[in-house]
Amino acid sequence: MYELLLSGIGNILQMKYLLPLAIGTLVGVVGGAMPGITNTMTVIMVLPFTFGLEPLQGLSVMIGVYVGGESGGLITSCLLGIPGKPSSVATMFDGFPMSQKGEPGRALWLGIWASFFGGLIGGVFLIGTTGPLASLALEFGPWEYFSLFVFALSMVAGLTGASITAGLLSGAIGLVITVLGNDPIFGAPRLTLGIAWLEGGIPFLPVLIGVFAFAQIMSDVEKLGGGRSDATRGFVAPRLLVSHLKVIWEILSRPFLLLWSSIVGLFIGVLPAIGGSAANVMAYDQAKKFSRHPERFGTGTPEGIIAAEASNNANIGGSLVTIMAFGIPGDAVTAVMLGALTIHGIQPGPLFISQEKTLAYGIFAAYLVAHLLMLVILFIGVRWFLRVVLVPKSILFPVILVLCVVGAYALNNTIANVYVLLLCGVLGYAMVKGGLPLAPLILGVILGDQIEINLVRSIMTDSNPWLFLTRPISGGLLAASVASMAFAFWQHRRAQKKSALAGGAADF
Amino acid sequence: MKLSRVGWAGLAALAASLVLFALTLGLKPNPLVPIGPGFYPRVVLGLSAVLAAALIAFDLYSIKQPGEGAKPNHALVLLVFVVFGIYISLMPGLGFRISTFFFVAALQSLLEPPKGVKGWVIVLATALITTLATHVLFERYLSVLLPRGRWTDF
């Protein structure tokens, strides 16, 4: 394993991979620093650029964006009090007060170094567990795959959004999208609604791009009221000089905090479709609970920054494990990566690490090297990145939408994908307005065909439906699905009680 | 009892599920296998119909909370969708370059109306740079062919 990893690092350090990785990291940092531009949006923007690249080059760009984005978000969180993205919200709770107390450099670099160490811990987990988990998944038959995908979907539906029913309905809508077009087993046409281009089914990348890009852009557009309204006008970059050794020691002298926050991030990352924002807030909350001085949280304590930032970078490692071992995206960014891989004819899943060793270890290496590049890029350009928040949204949004069009069109050079993009954009925005979460929809679209294929295969192999329950792994996974739903139900019930006490109500 | 936005979303999903479910009844079974192409869609559409109905029911019996904050600018959102729709409708005829130039300029002007000559210069320069940069980068360096116009051959 170590030989393969070293060879992967050697591979990535070649200019043809290092340059895309560095560009991706830079774009990720810049995108992450821009309030309102999430990692998903940034990775969607770079997606079309990867079509013409080799698979490892394209994935290097995306991993760079992912790692850079998680770290870039802390810049504006710490220095301006504006989270660059949802997974930097908790960083702001202590980062900004620390900056206001006259220590902006300390706040910023505590976050950056914590991201680095959290990312490395995530890397150890990623490299150490992907192979064994993939070997376990190799034992799976169609019953187990079906149950695994159902488990993933039920978990996401239960854990995202304010209502379990809304989450499940969103996942079901995702599954409905996959039944339009030919059936995946025999190719028989079904539910094409008389539209010729629906016969081939709906590719999931235009759906993903449309749903996420439009939902986010339109949510921002509806807040625009004409004229620039940024809080950064007249902004003067602060002095960011700091003793790095001192900052590193501040982090490493709290090993339990660093490790536990990273484990929280990894755990959240492994859960399908739940991203860094949950990790960031949950790790912050855990750090506060374990702290001897919880009253200091929110006033500029280093523990708050370390916990929040270590967790969201470790979260990347967890997300990559799920996609590489099982072929299930850990979040929206890895869902786009999955799309990029399938464009190159590579199917992530249990066989990926054994059949695509160079690529798999290249991904591990890119992940590790991206963290070093992130440090270098932030060291050189952190003051400059603060300026990017001044770019008006009226310039940014048209450019992003053009890149979305290119991404959807270039998938297989057909304008039909662009129409799908618009339709799914309308659907995504309507779902946001209707209170339906987007993550289950996307997972439903990604897993829909696989759920159907494995269901039909299992029934064709043996028509006894009890096998789904009596085969140990399959039964265990279905039991876990029920348990996750029960947990979500309990959690929502508790929220409802709290809300009722506060004078409102939550629905199920 | 009044439906909130969640309830309306459920109602739309229920209607779509039922229409599609009805369409699956016309799918012919495959004699070679125990289940045909309509089996799985029926399961999925039945599930989504049940969930949508449950969402409507929960919404009817839940206590509605008044909306907070500033009123969203839905008219602007609608206009952005319309401009985007026109852009992608005209793209096969005008080609990527011409349609993208007009789209970027139009959307910028819509989101932040340009003030004075400087404002228009920024709008046109952004539209031109975006169009040229995407064309050169994708066609020349990344081998991604972008749509040519049927009417313009450009």
Query: What is the tens place of the pLDDT at every residue in A145-154?
Result: 999 888 888 8
Instruction: Classify residue A24: in a domain, yes or no.
Output: yes
Residues A241-264: tens digit of each pLDDT: 788 899 999 999 999 999 999 998
Q: Are A484 and A158 in contact (CB under 8 A)?
A: yes
The Cα angle at residue B121 between residues B119 and B126, in degrees rounded to 5: 100
Instruction: Classify residue B11: in a domain, yes or no.
Output: yes
Tell me how far the alpha carbon of residue A149 is from its chain's centroid: 18
CA distance A146 to A194: 31
Please tell me the predicted confidence (pLDDT) of residue B34.
Answer: 74
| Helix (H), strand (E), coil (C) string for A85-135 | CHHHHHHHHHHHHHHHCCCHHHHHHHHHHHHHHHHHHHHHHHHHHHHHHHH
Chain B residues in contact with A223 (beta carbon < 8 A) = 70, 72-73
Instruction: Supply the pTM of this predicted model.
Output: 0.85
CA distance B64 to A295: 35
- In a shared domain, residues B81 and B56: no
Calculate the average pLDDT of chain A. Answer: 86
Of A52, A223, A402, the CB nearest to B130: A402
Please tell me the predicted confidence (pLDDT) of residue A507.
Answer: 38
Chain A residues in contact with B70 (beta carbon < 8 A) = 223
Q: What is the predicted ipTM?
A: 0.94
State which residues form the domain around A112: 2-225+237-501
CA distance A477 to A469: 9
Q: Which of B61, B82, B99 is the last residue of a domain?
A: B61
DSSP string, A459-499: HHH---TTHHHHSHHHHHHHHHHHHHHHHHHHHHHHHHHHH
Grade residue A65 by pLDDT with cuts at 50, 70 and 90: very high
Grade residue B130 by pLDDT with cuts at 50, 70 and 90: very high
Instruction: Classify residue A98: in a domain, yes or no.
Output: yes
Read off the tokens for B74.
Answer: 């839905």
Instruction: Classify residue B153: in a domain, yes or no.
Output: no
Grade residue A183 by pLDDT with cuts at 50, 70 and 90: confident
Buried b (16+ CB within 10 A) or exposed e, A35-55: bbbbbbbbbbbbbbbbbbbeb
Lowest mean pLDDT among A102-111, A250-259, A286-295, A304-313: A286-295
Query: Is A223 within 8 Å of B143 when comparing Cβ atoms?
Result: no
Grade residue B118 by pLDDT with cuts at 50, 70 and 90: very high
Of B33, B80, B130, the CB nearest to A218: B80
* Type of residue found at A86: P
Instruction: Classify residue B40: in a domain, yes or no.
Output: yes
Please tell me the predicted confidence (pLDDT) of residue A233.
Answer: 53
Q: Are A29 and A69 in contact (CB under 8 A)?
A: yes
Count of domains forming chain A: 1
Chain B residues in contact with A404 (beta carbon < 8 A) = none
CA distance A92 to A309: 10
CA distance A11 to A4: 10
Q: Which residue in chain A is spatially nearest to B48 when comparing CA positions?
A: A172
Instruction: Classify residue A506: in a domain, yes or no.
Output: no
In angstroms, the separation between the Cα of residue B22 and the nearest Cα of chain A is 10
> What does each C-alpha distance from A475 to A89, A145, A462, A465 come to in angstroms?
39, 11, 16, 12
In angstroms, the separation between the Cα of residue A303 and the nearest Cα of chain B is 33
A190-194, A219-223, B53-57 — which one is most confidently predicted on average?
B53-57
Please tell me the predicted confidence (pLDDT) of residue A354.
Answer: 85
In angstroms, the separation between the Cα of residue A1 and the nearest Cα of chain B is 34
Kind and range of the H or E run holding A317: helix A302-326
Instruction: Classify residue A508: in a domain, yes or no.
Output: no
CA distance A419 to A199: 15
Structural Rg of chain A based on CA atoms: 22
CA distance A322 to A294: 34
**Which sign does the torsion angle of CA A110, A112, A116, A118 carry?**
positive
CA distance A324 to A346: 11
Read off the tokens for A373.
Answer: 């590049």
Q: Are A366 and A320 in contact (CB under 8 A)?
A: no
- In a shared domain, residues B81 and B108: yes
Of B23, B55, B104, the CB nearest to A166: B55
Read off the tokens for A411.
Answer: 């998938």
Please tell me the predicted confidence (pLDDT) of residue A508.
Answer: 37
Query: Is B112 within 8 Å of A410 when comparing Cβ atoms?
Result: no
Query: Is B111 within 8 Å of A397 when comparing Cβ atoms?
Result: yes
State which residues form the domain around B18: 5-61
Interface probe, candidates B5, B42, B44, chain A, greatest A C-beta count within 10 A: B44
In angstroms, the separation between the Cα of residue A55 and the nearest Cα of chain B is 13
Candidates A362, A265, A272, A271; CA nearest to A316 is: A265
- In a shared domain, residues B82 and B130: yes
Chain A residues in contact with B35 (beta carbon < 8 A) = 456, 459
- In a shared domain, residues B89 and B41: no
Q: For residue B153, what is the DSSP state?
A: -
> What does each C-alpha distance from B4 to A358, A391, B62, B65 come to in angstroms?
52, 37, 10, 10
Instruction: Classify residue A253: in a domain, yes or no.
Output: yes
Interface probe, candidates B111, B118, B132, chain A, greatest A C-beta count within 10 A: B111
Query: Is B74 within 8 Å of A169 when comparing Cβ atoms?
Result: no
Q: For residue A231, what is the DSSP state?
A: T
Read off the tokens for A507.
Answer: 């629905």
Lowest mean pLDDT among A79-83, A296-300, B20-24: A79-83
> What does each C-alpha distance from A359 to A55, A91, A132, A347, A364 come to in angstroms?
8, 33, 17, 12, 9
Count of domains forming chain B: 2
Q: Which residue in chain B is spatially nearest to A428 when comparing CA positions?
A: B9
Interface probe, candidates B48, B68, B128, chain A, greatest A C-beta count within 10 A: B48
Tell me how far the alpha carbon of residue A222 is from its chain's centroid: 25
Mean pLDDT of the A445-464 span: 88
Residues A475-499: tens digit of each pLDDT: 999 999 898 888 888 877 777 777 6
Grade residue A339 by pLDDT with cuts at 50, 70 and 90: confident
The Cα angle at residue A355 between residues A352 and A360, in degrees rounded to 5: 55
Please tell me the predicted confidence (pLDDT) of residue A506.
Answer: 38
Per the listing, tokens 């229409």 go with B19
Query: Is B142 within 8 Å of A51 when comparing Cβ atoms?
Result: yes
The Cα angle at residue A410 between residues A152 and A369, in degrees rounded to 5: 60
- In a shared domain, residues B136 and B88: yes
Instruction: Classify residue B68: in a domain, yes or no.
Output: no
In angstroms, the separation between the Cα of residue B108 and the nearest Cα of chain A is 5
- In a shared domain, residues B91 and B126: yes
Q: Please count the residue pairs, one from chain A and one from chain B, whose beta carbons lie less than 8 angstroms apart.
A: 200
The better pLDDT of the pair A87, A352 is held by: A352
- In a shared domain, residues B94 and B136: yes
Buried b (16+ CB within 10 A) or exposed e, B124-149: bebbeebbeebbeebeeebebebbeb
In angstroms, the separation between the Cα of residue A326 and the nearest Cα of chain B is 23
In angstroms, the separation between the Cα of residue B6 and the nearest Cα of chain A is 5
CA distance A211 to A45: 14
Chain B residues in contact with A419 (beta carbon < 8 A) = 88
- In a shared domain, residues B88 and B50: no
Lowest mean pLDDT among A326-335, A358-367, A420-429: A326-335
Instruction: Classify residue B112: in a domain, yes or no.
Output: yes
- In a shared domain, residues B86 and B132: yes
Instruction: Classify residue B15: in a domain, yes or no.
Output: yes
Q: For residue A198, what is the DSSP state?
A: G
Mean pLDDT of the A282-310 span: 88
- In a shared domain, residues B43 and B82: no
Instruction: Classify residue B150: in a domain, yes or no.
Output: no
Chain A residues in contact with B143 (beta carbon < 8 A) = 52
In angstroms, the separation between the Cα of residue B55 and the nearest Cα of chain A is 6
Interface probe, candidates B18, B43, B80, B140, chain A, greatest A C-beta count within 10 A: B80
* Type of residue found at A82: I
Instruction: Classify residue B133: in a domain, yes or no.
Output: yes
Instruction: Classify residue A507: in a domain, yes or no.
Output: no
Q: Are A443 and A272 in contact (CB under 8 A)?
A: yes
Candidates A433, A334, B130; CA nearest to A425 is: A433
Lowest mean pLDDT among A139-153, A170-184, A336-350: A336-350
Q: Are A373 and A110 in contact (CB under 8 A)?
A: no
Q: According to DSSP H, which parts of chain B are helical?
A: 5-24, 39-61, 74-94, 96-111, 116-135
Q: Are B134 and B103 in contact (CB under 8 A)?
A: no
